[in-house]
Chains A and B, each alone.
Chain A
Amino acid sequence: MDTRLQTPRGTTDYLPEESYKRRIAEDSFRRTFELWGYQEIRTPTFEFFQVLATGTGAELEDSMFKFQDKSGRLLALRAEMTASIARVVGTQLLNEPKPIRLWYIANMFRYDEPQAGRQREFWQAGVELVGSDKIQADIEVVALMTQALRNICLKDVRVDVGHVGIFKEIMKEARLNADIVNAIRVSIDKKDSEGLEKTLNTEQIDEQTKQILRALLESRGGVEVLDKISSLVDNQKITDIINNLKKVLLELQGFGVSEEFVTVDLGIIRGLDYYTGVVFEAYVPDLGIAIGGGGRYDGLIGDFASFEIPATGFAIGIDRCIMALEKQKFQYPDKVKASVLILPVSKEMNIEVNKIANKLREDGITVEAEISGWSVSKGLSYANKMKIPYVIIVGEEEYRSKAVVVKAMSAEKQDQVKIKELTNFLKEKT
């Protein structure tokens, strides 16, 4: 392989057309996050491995790009943003008034097998809401994720909401060893009811716990699912969790996220170890993979500070959003290329051309200036190919009378326009 001519596996060049689609989505995410009072944060692309590996679990640790600095310390490219932000909060923002609302749009790196919807370098947009352990904070981030996805014009955005605390609490009470807990976790995650039965039958587990675990595997739906679990358990913590999840369903409606778009799924056990509470995933029916997800992580910031600070947040996969928009046949607004090409009749007019171009740019008109020494006819044919709608031709004679010729490419028509009226003339047309 000639490495001079290629990029590493799992990386992509985004040419103007593709960059444009991403820019539109990113601008929209930024506007939405700012409107909800979140502020931008940027952290290093690479950090000490120990920071990035905090709370993320073995699988993600394995998939990090790791390398050494000159003194032999282990560094890694960030694979997700939450650990980095937890470090910033735990070391620099402890005394800030809470809650702290932060957003980011950044590239992440994972050394996995590249596949549809997951390159080795990929982009995420996300938020972290730090300093509140209230269910209202969870509701806000779920609502914000939904709104952010709706604002990029995704249709039929749905959210599944679960809570890792229920499973953790049941396992704590059952006092099973870690291998069994893991086998049960995998079965629930795969909705593999036979696999679950097999594990349940070989272990000393009381009938009530078995029933709850079966219910967790089956638990998808609305309030009725919560009521069912509620009727099976006799544990104050779990009852509190269920009441909180009911609040989530109810209060999301206030954000315009009605019942039909939200489903309770207590089988959601997201891949990262640091989650402690409400977890959620977003998807659209048109794409077979989740486009965003997040949850509460009340212990993570404490790993970087002397005390714990509750927090919740989410990340959206930007590439997956673009895939979903394409599946939904979203029509992007026309890309604004230059609306004007400006040409001198002779190179003696170059200074005048640049003066006029600058004035128009100050007035907010996108102008391409001729720089190749072309004749007027060559310039016109370039404008034609690039679909630039107007060409300004600056000739000596017209310039002496403080005017230029403006040619509308679509109409085969040209007008002589006074330079000081040029901006208004073009703005009326475009």
Chain B
Amino acid sequence: MNTINILLALPNKGRLQKPALKLLEEADINVTTTDREYLADTSEPQLQIIFARASDIPVYVHFGATDLGITGHDLILERSSDVYELMNLAFGKCKLVLAVPNNSEILSLEDLPNGVKIATEFPNITDSYFGEKGKKVELITVHGATEITPILGLADAIVDLVSTGSTLKSNNLRPIETILTSTARLVCNKISLRTKEKTINSIVKKLKTKL
């Protein structure tokens, strides 16, 4: 009972999952098989892994449901989770951009009319971004396929993640503003780092040698 165990949350799917598992593998932390669906042991006796949605991982870590997590910087900001960002893992690089249809008259942020409709999966970041810029916008929160909302006439512009830009292109959208750039991070619960410092630092050290 007194051995210090560390629980690490990894994305259960999506673009961050494979590189996250690869990073662990390269650091000689092997995920051993498990009969449980979402929980796995590792070759490190003190480290267990739990698989969760990348967008929920900041919340898990904030409240100490898990000690560590690997998730995107964008998602940490969107969930406004108060966590330590111990490592920039460099993979999962992407930008959150404001994009408009190719044929739109809007060429820059200044052209946005008041009350413009913006669809996004990132309502909190988008809201505070336009708040800071002093622009009044109408947010439409969607959960995926944001890029089709202008075609359907639901939105005048979108705020969405791009990694290569091909999705935007194929939907006749062009980016006019970068709101933030993001990469995957190793995040840590603020109490866990205090109470399990040695064990967490040894894991961080292992990962750091592989970056």
Contacts and interface: CB of A to CB of B under 8 A. Distances in A.
Nearest to B4: A285
Contacts of A285: 191, 195-196
Interface in A190-207: 190-192, 194-195
B191 A290 contact: yes
Contacts of A192: 84-86, 88
Interface string B169-203: 00000000000000000001111111111000000
B4 to A, nearest CB: 9
Contacts of B191: 283, 285, 287-290
A372 interface: no
B197 A220 contact: yes
Nearest to B59: A115
A160 B59 CA distance: 23
Interface in A285-313: 285, 287-290
Contacts of A263: 194
Interface residues of B, number: 21
B65 interface: yes
B129 interface: no
B24 to A, nearest CB: 20
Interface residues of A, number: 19
A192 B84 CA distance: 7
A190 B194 contact: no
A287 B194 contact: no
Contacts of A165: none
Interface in A145-175: 158, 160
A117 interface: yes
A116 interface: yes
Given A192-B85, A220-B197, A117 B63 contact: yes
A288 B194 contact: no
B85 A190 contact: yes
Contact of B64 (A158, A191, A194, A287): A287
Interface in B50-100: 59, 62-65, 83-88
Interface in B82-136: 83-88
B193 A191 contact: yes
B63 A194 contact: no
A194 B88 contact: yes
A158 B63 CA distance: 17
Interface in A104-143: 115-117
Given A190-B84, A192-B85, A288-B189, A220 B194 contact: yes
B41 to A, nearest CB: 22
Interface string A233-264: 00000000000000000000000000000010
Nearest to A291: B191
Contacts of B65: 288
Interface of A: 115-117, 158, 160, 190-192, 194-195, 220, 263, 265, 283, 285, 287-290
15 contacts: A115-B59, A117-B63, A160-B194, A191-B193, A195-B88, A265-B194, A283-B195, A285-B191, A285-B195, A287-B191, A288-B64, A288-B65, A288-B191, A288-B192, A289-B63
